[in-house]
Amino acid sequence: MKKFVIAATVAATLVSAANAADINICVEGAYPPFSSTEPSGEVVGFDIDIANALCAEMGQSCELVKTDWDGIIPALLEGKCDAIIASMSITPDRMQIIDFSTKYYNSPAGFIGAEGMMESGLDGQRVGVQRGTIHHSFMEGVFPNVELVLYGSQDEIYLDLVAGRVDAIMADSIAMQEGFLDTDSGAGYAFFGESYSVPEYHGDGAGVGVRQGEEELRDAFSAAITAIRESGEYSMINAEYFDFDIFGG
């Protein structure tokens, strides 16, 4: 039995899952509550549930491919997956390289830090952001005087905020509320300053990313988003994670 398990583990590693599914979808896995990784290695979260609902709506079989944020657009471009469902905002910069469905949620960005922190005191402080996100370019453009610390994943920034290596985090406000402030380690930390939604940086909400030229797939995703909004499927998933409608105006 043991031998069998070992052989199976090795075999699974050597031959990555045969691409039997219709659509391979890149997801992240370190961005609670949108995506996080269970001890078993399974990826769960809002993005994952939405991905599954969209696939069911489209009548397609889907395979989720866990990919680091850093490499997620290259992975799409090189065909490691056919779509990205990873809370990726639809921004003009990204539109030059890939294409998006309509949004499937929209939430503003904000700062968190130790309770009592002020936005006016940010100059010279260390602010953690995830490399290559809208928050990265927003901070560079709007807050040039803070010391930016770049991370690969959102989970790492939480660890370093608690350790005291960064003074504040700029990220999606809902991700931080649910993924950090509401957890045990979030005690003593709070939002401060304004909440931001600047179209130039933040775009029009999160959409499903596809390669350019795949209009058919893009439109299928957009139609499926509208359909699950209407069927009530979306509100059911929404209710599992949030007590308000995350779709936005």
Partner 1 sequence: MRFDLVADNWVMFAEGAWMTVQLTALSLLIGFCIALPAGLIRARRIRILSPLINIYVYAFRGTPLLVQLFLVYYGLSQFEAVRDSFAWPVLREAYWCALITFSLNSGAYATEIIRGAIETVPKGELEAAKSLGLSPRKVDFLVLIPSALRRALPQYGNEVVFMLHGSVVASVITIQDILGAGRTLNARYYIAYEGFLTAAALYMSITFVLVFAFRMLERRYLRHLRVSH
Partner 2 sequence: MENLIEYMPLLLSGALVTITLALFSLVLATVLGALGATGKLSGGIIAKSIVGVYTTLVRGVPDLVLILLIYFGGQRLLNIVGNWFDADYIELSKFWAGVGAIGFIYGAYLTETFRGAYMTIPPGQIDAAKALGMRPISVLRTVTIPQLISFALPGYANVWQVLIKSTAVVSIIGLEDLVGLANDAGKSVREPFIFFAFVFCMYLLFTFISQNIFMYAERKYALKGHDDAV
* Residues of the shown chain interacting with partner 1 in the complex, contacts defined by CB under 8 A: 70-71, 73-74, 77-78, 93-94, 97-98, 131-132, 136-137, 149-152, 159-160, 163-165
Q: DSSP label at 4?
A: H
Q: Which does 27 bind (CB under 5 to 8 A by kind): partner 1, partner 2, none?
A: none
**Binding partner of residue 89 among partner 2, partner 1, none, CB cut-off 5 to 8 Å per kind:** none
Nearest CA among 147, 138, 221 for reference residue 172? 138
Residue 150-189 contact track with partner 2, rule CB under 8 A, x = bound: -----xx--x-------------------------x----
Which one-letter DSSP state was computed for residue 32? Answer: T
What does 14 interact with, of partner 1, partner 2, none (CB < 5 to 8 A by kind)?
A: partner 2
Q: How far is the CB of 2 from partner 1 (least distance, A)?
A: 27
CA atoms within 13 A on the CB side of 243: 2
Determine the size of the site formed for partner 2 (CB under 8 A).
26
Residue 213 interface partner, choices partner 2, partner 1, none, CB cut-off 5-8 Å depending on type: none
CB-based contact 108:249 (threshold 8 Å):
no
Sign of the Cα pseudo-torsion (145, 72, 68, 177, in order): positive
Nearer to partner 1, 120 or 145 (CB): 145
Dihedral sign, Cα of residue 124, residue 125, residue 130, residue 134 = negative
Residue 149 interface partner, choices partner 2, partner 1, none, CB cut-off 5-8 Å depending on type: partner 1
- How many Cβ atoms from other residues are within 10 Å of residue 130's Cβ? 26
Handedness of CA 54, 205, 133, 92 (dihedral sign): positive
* Gyration radius of the chain's alpha carbons: 19
Which of 73, 85 has the CB closer to partner 2?
A: 73
Nearer to partner 1, 94 or 103 (CB): 94
